Structure 1
Amino acid sequence: MNIRKIECLIAENVFGWKTTYYQNIDIISAFTEDEEISIPDHFSPTSDITDSWKVIKELRYKGIYVTIDSMNCTVTAFVMKEDQTPPYNYRSTLATEQCESIEMNDLPLKICLVALKSLGVNVEGIVT
């Protein structure tokens, strides 16, 4: 699994940054409308829960919500349906990932995968 590639896709698709990935030095440069920034090594939404919450927060600006179900060990992304009245089919599921367990080492990666899938990014070739 190419973790840094997933983080590059998160930067592009969730945060809207244009990126260049330098594989030989494992650095991602991001370009915003105003300036070029380098995504620091310590920015790792696939392994750091603090950065994963930033992904969840950014998705909410796009109208996508993420739930974490500790009983079933799943992470799910969904959108609210405006034309339905709760609790009757009030949300539409975009993506779901099954976790081995809801622990800090597994959860951030699953959040990232659900985020990418909910935005229509194909991660099948990246995740093995």
Structure 2
Amino acid sequence: MDLRAIDCLIAEKVMGWRLENRRVNIWGQEIGFWVNPKINRIVAKYSGFREESFSPSTNIADAWQVVEKLKIAVIPQAGEPPKNMKYLAEIDRRPLGGYYQAFAKTAPLAICLVALKAVGVEVEVNEQ
């Protein structure tokens, strides 16, 4: 799965947002907006070609929203983590819930992978 698809899964499955497409008059493009249904407000733009897109898999500021929502610990690795991955993200909800961990080359991607695991979505990353 590519990073853009991971970003969309995070917005929908973890953050609880819904995607609304709206037609924009610039080149007839359709731009999406992530809407938080609880407050009925646009919380992020969705676009593959604009910098203001919600990109938690690559943007640490966006990933931090996920950290705050799920209370994730991000740990730089010392020693030899699997597949030369540099970061480990963990969610530990024991004894009431589960324990989840994910390794990745970047902190934002590790955050996204562990967040998806915590909501029951396993992904394999194409771009690391």
Percent identity of paired positions between Structure 1 and Structure 2 = 34
Amino acid at match of 2:59: D
Distance 2:63 2:111 in 1: 7
User: TM-score, normalising length from structure 2?
Assistant: 0.64
1:76 aligns with 2:108: no
**1:81 and 1:38, CA in 2 relative to 1: closer, same or farther beyond 3 A?**
closer
Q: For each residue in 1:53-106, what CA deviation from the matched residue of structure 2 results, as whole angstroms up to 9, or x when unmatched?
A: 11100113xxxx334242254222221425xxxxxxxx8422x22234xxxxx2
User: TM-score, normalising length from structure 1?
Assistant: 0.64
Q: What is the aligned residue count? A: 106
Specify every segment of 5 or more residues in structure 1 that has no aligned partner in the other structure, as ranges.
83-90, 101-105
**1:59 and 1:36, CA in 2 relative to 1: closer, same or farther beyond 3 A?**
same
Question: C-alpha displacement at 1:38, in angstroms?
Answer: 6.6
SS class of match (1:77):
strand
Q: Which residue of 2 aligns with 1:29?
A: 33
Question: C-alpha displacement at 1:7, in angstroms?
Answer: 1.0
Q: Which residue of 2 aligns with 1:115?
A: 115
**1:28 and 1:77, CA in 2 relative to 1: closer, same or farther beyond 3 A?**
farther
Any residues of structure 2 matched to 1:84-103 within 5 Å, and which? 92-94=98-100, 96-100=101-105
**1:68 and 1:44, CA in 2 relative to 1: closer, same or farther beyond 3 A?**
same
Q: Which residue of 1 aligns with 2:64?
A: 53
Amino acid at match of 1:76: E
Question: C-alpha displacement at 1:110, in angstroms?
Answer: 1.5
